[in-house]
Amino acid sequence: MNPRTYEATPAKRVAFLGLGVMGYPMAGHLACAGHQVTVFNRTAAKAVAWCEEYAVATGQKGNLHHAPTPCLATHNADLVFCCVGNDDDLRSVALGGEGAFVGMRPGAVFVDHTTASANVARELYAAARAQGLNFVDAPVSGGQAGAQNGALTVMCGGDRAAFETAQPVAMAFSKAFTYLGDSGAGQLAKMVNQICIAGLVQGLAEAIAFGQKAGLDMNLVLDVIGKGAAQSWQMDNRGKTMVADKFDFGFAVDWMRKDLGLVLDEAKRNGASLPATALIDQFYGDVQRMGGRRWDTSSLIKRLR
> pLDDT tens digits, the chain, 305 residues: what are they?
556 888 878 889 999 999 999 999 999 999 999 999 999 999 999 999 999 999 999 998 899 999 999 999 999 999 999 999 999 999 999 999 999 999 999 999 999 999 999 999 999 999 999 999 999 999 999 999 999 999 999 999 999 999 999 999 999 999 999 999 999 999 999 999 999 999 999 999 999 999 999 999 999 999 999 999 999 999 999 999 999 999 998 799 999 999 999 999 999 999 999 999 999 999 999 999 999 999 999 999 999 99
Q: Is 109 exposed, middle or buried (0-12, 13-18, 19+ CB in 10 A)?
A: buried
Q: Are residues 278 and 197 in the same domain?
A: yes
d(CA 249, CA 108): 36
Q: Are residues 29 and 141 in the same domain?
A: yes
CA distances from 209 to 58, 218, 226, 300 (A): 47, 9, 16, 10
Whether the Cβ atoms of residue 42 and residue 73 lie closer than 8 Å to each other: no
d(CA 174, CA 83): 14
Q: Which domain holds residue 281?
A: 189-304
- 224, containing H or E segment: helix 218-225
pTM of the model: 0.94
Instruction: Look at residues 119, 150, 182 and tell me which one is the last residue of a structural domain.
Output: 182
CA distances from 42 to 24, 31, 49 (A): 13, 20, 13
Q: What is the largest CA-CA distance in the chain?
A: 65
Q: Are residues 43 and 115 in the same domain?
A: yes
In a domain, 3, yes or no: no
Other C-beta atoms within 10 Å of 223: how many? Answer: 12
Provide the annotated active-site residues.
190
Instruction: Look at residues 182, 211, 230 and tell me which one is the last residue of a structural domain.
Output: 182
Give the total number of structural domains in the chain: 2
In a domain, 24, yes or no: yes
Single out the residue of 229, 226, 228, 237 nearest to residue 201, CA to CA.
Answer: 237
